[in-house]
Amino acid sequence: MTQSYREPIERDPYYKRDDGLDATEKQHFERAPPDQDNPFGNEDYAEVKYRTLYWWQCGMIMIAETVSLGILSLPSAVATLGLAPAIILIVGLGLLATYTGYTLGQFKLRYPHVHSMADAGEVLFGKIGLARFGREFLGTAQLLFLIFIMGSHILTFTVMMNTLTNHGTCSIVFGVVGLVISFIFAVPRTLRKVSWFSFASFGSILAAVLITMIAIAIQRPGDGKIDATTKIDVATGFLAVTNIVFAYAGHVAFFGFISEMKIPTDYPKTLYLLQGTDTIMYTVAAIVIYYYGGKDVKSPALSSTSPITAKVAYGIAIPTIVIAGVINGHVAAKYIYVRVFRGTNHMQTRSFRAVGSWVAISLVLWIIAWIIAEAIPVFNNLLSLITALFASWFTYGLSGIFWLFLNWGQYSRNWKKISLTCLNLVIVGIGGCLCGMGLWVSGKAIHDDPNNASFSCAETSG
């Protein structure tokens, strides 16, 4: 049977094993992988080079992509679930996301040509002769997930503008402004150029969260009562859980990020930088803002303080609201761009066709994202729907499947393999549970929300 997926090459430049190479040869292969395993082709004489990221630059991009909208919904999740279960979930899901992110890195290093979830789907389903189906299925899901995230950033931009201007004009106008600004920042084709935006994004969200924590500690809008646990219905509780899951929903772009690293074997350092930063920030921000904001703390959390402070915080948060969405938009556009021009010289040139195609792809994707933002104009509900459909699998479930695929036939080799097999089966189950339950609660919330006025000039809600 002819198979379209790629097996690991004999001298896999990244997969660590004893292949008989001396230290010099191994260093050469680590730093200069064969062209056929570089999604962007031979870049020796290219006008546009993609594999240019140092590990810390990639880490900053991943932080900017992940630590943005998710952190704004966590205090509300704590208020819903109670302090004890919410913190257990935030830390526990953070540790689990670190493990699943590491598994994605193992898969990428075993199959260096993988640039997207579509490529990974081709490898997975290729074993059973369904490589094309696997590529289209996971590729479409990845693209939709990224577009939904882009839409959530446009929605947040609209909420921010309504706050800053006291709903100075039609919310649709603010959404269009967010669309235009995001598209302009998405014009660069390489992640190295986008990486410089990521520093502004991280500084922005850090400053905004600090201002919110300080202001809410001074103003104390809550009644001072902290609930260690709460009594809530299943639908309300699970809706809060999906918002926590969304805070760790950056995994969908990891294959693309690793593909543009100078030394892909440095990826674990990048991952630990990301997960250490986001788990600490999430935990501290969620506890402090909930402690002083009380059970009625708002989502996004920047709206929990006085109107003046909220305006200051939103103003400072503008870079992260825009740039974090731009990074996801870049990955979405890059997926289509690489798929169209892979194996050609157009991707590495600055020709009219190459640049024009990139611009056109980005514009179409941002327009679709704006339509989604207008169709579901409620922040928490949109995050819940995105989590149920996509983050449940891309952050958790699929990573378990990748591990089972990589370790096929070795599940009972020793006690460690048996333990890891059980863990990854549980991870697959968690992905399925988050998807099924999440779809139910998000659909119910969208249906029941009285403020759900699609394509309306009314002020958008948090």
Secondary structure of 121-147 in HEC code, one letter for each residue: HHHHHHCCCCHHHHHHHHHHHHHHHHH
Enter the tokens of residue 344.
């050609």
Residue 25's pLDDT is 34
Percentage above 70 pLDDT, the chain: 87
Mean pLDDT on 344-358: 85
Enter the tokens of residue 19.
């292949």
Three-state SS at 461: strand
Q: Which fold has domain 45-448?
A: Amino acid/polyamine transporter I (1.20.1740)
- One-letter identity of residue 59: G
Question: What is the tens place of the pLDDT at every residue in 284-334?
Answer: 999 999 998 888 888 777 777 888 888 888 889 889 889 989 999 999 999
Residue 308's pLDDT is 87
Instruction: Quote the CA–CA distance of 278 and 40 in Å, as a whole number.
Output: 30
Closest to 309 (Cα-Cα) out of 379, 380, 214 = 214
Higher pLDDT, 443 or 378: 443
The residues, ordered by sequence, that sit 6+ positions from 360 with a Cβ below 8 Å of its Cβ are none
Mean pLDDT on 85-110: 95
Handedness of CA 122, 242, 333, 259 (dihedral sign): negative
Residue 43's pLDDT is 73
Mean pLDDT on 239-248: 85
Question: What is the tens place of the pLDDT at every residue in 113-122?
Answer: 899 999 999 9
Residue 454's pLDDT is 65
Residue 158: is its pLDDT beyond 70?
Answer: yes
Residue 6's pLDDT is 47
Instruction: Quote the CA–CA distance of 370 and 249 in Å, as a whole number.
Output: 20
DSSP assigned state of 378 = B
Higher pLDDT, 241 or 1: 241
Residue 368's pLDDT is 94
Quick check: 1 and 127 in contact, CB under 8 A? no
Instruction: Quote the CA–CA distance of 21 and 288 in Å, as a whole number.
Output: 53
Question: What is the tens place of the pLDDT at every residue in 179-230?
Answer: 999 999 999 888 888 888 888 998 998 998 898 899 888 888 877 678 888 8
Enter the tokens of residue 231.
């009594």
Question: What is the tens place of the pLDDT at every residue in 88-100?
Answer: 999 999 999 999 9
Tally of residues, the chain: 462
Higher pLDDT, 153 or 375: 153
Closest to 390 (Cα-Cα) out of 159, 155, 151, 189 = 151
Mean pLDDT on 121-142: 92
Question: What is the tens place of the pLDDT at every residue in 30-60?
Answer: 333 344 567 777 777 677 888 889 999 999 9
Going from the C-alpha of 275 to that of each of 127, 160, 242, 403, 448, the distances in angstroms are 32, 27, 18, 20, 35
Residue 135's pLDDT is 94
Instruction: Quote the CA–CA distance of 73 and 286 in Å, as a whole number.
Output: 9
Enter the tokens of residue 251.
């995994």
Residue 89's pLDDT is 95
Mean pLDDT on 250-261: 92
| 255 CB burial (10 A radius; 0-12, 13-18, 19+) | buried
Strand boundaries in 244-323, DSSP class E: none
Instruction: State phi, psi for 461 to the nearest 5 degrees.
Output: -110, 160
Residue 51's pLDDT is 86
CB < 8 Å & 24+ apart, contacts of 13-22: 13/37, 13/112, 14/108, 14/109, 14/110, 14/112, 14/264, 14/265, 15/109, 15/110, 16/109, 16/265
Three-state SS at 297: coil
Instruction: Quote the CA–CA distance of 403 and 407 in Å, as a whole number.
Output: 6
Residue 351 pLDDT grade (very low, low, confident, very high; cuts 50, 70, 90): confident
- Mean per-residue pLDDT of the chain: 84
With tokens 């100078």, the residue in question is 262
Residue 121's pLDDT is 94
**Least confident interval from 94-103, 168-177, 362-371, 423-432:** 168-177
Please state, as a whole number, how many other Cβ atoms lie within 10 Å of the Cβ of residue 276: 14
Backbone region of residue 190 per phi and psi (left: phi > 0; alpha: psi in -120 to 50; beta: other values): beta
Quick check: 147 and 365 in contact, CB under 8 A? yes
Percentage above 90 pLDDT, the chain: 42
Domain ranges of the chain: 45-448
Instruction: Quote the CA–CA distance of 23 and 438 in Å, as a whole number.
Output: 49
